[in-house]
Structure formats: C-alpha cells, structure tokens
Amino acid sequence: MSKDYTQRQLAFESGLSLSQIARIETSRINPTLSTIFTIARTLEIPLSELFNFELPDK
C-alpha cells in the first residue's frame, strides 16, 4: 500500500525525527513497538499492514 509520503512528511506528521525515519527505512535501527504504532497511525493503516510480508518464489 502506497501513501506517497516523503520521509520529511512522515516525520513531521508523526512527530518523529527525520533522521529516525531515515534510519528505520534503511534498516540501520529497529523501531520500538511504540514507534511502529505511531507510524501506522500516521499512515492510517492497520498495524498488520506493516508486518504483511510475502517472500518471493524461488
């Protein structure tokens, strides 16, 4: 699901720092559950959407 947010927009609307959003997106840090809830709420998506992974077929 695409919401077309820039990192800057997501940071501003969620109250998280831009550097934190960038580090999460590039897997440099693992977000806390509280941060994940905040991102899901900001994007107006169910929390399960952030954890809906499908692995590619081999």
- pLDDT tens across the length of the chain (58 residues): 557 899 999 999 999 999 999 999 999 999 999 999 999 999 999 998 888 888 778 7
**Predicted local confidence at residue 46, as pLDDT:** 94
What's the rounded Cα separation, in Å, for the pair 8 and 14? 10
This prediction has a pTM of: 0.81
**Predicted local confidence at residue 50, as pLDDT:** 85
Helix (H) or strand (E) holding 41: helix 33-43
User: What is the CB neighbour count within 10 angstroms for residue 13?
Assistant: 14
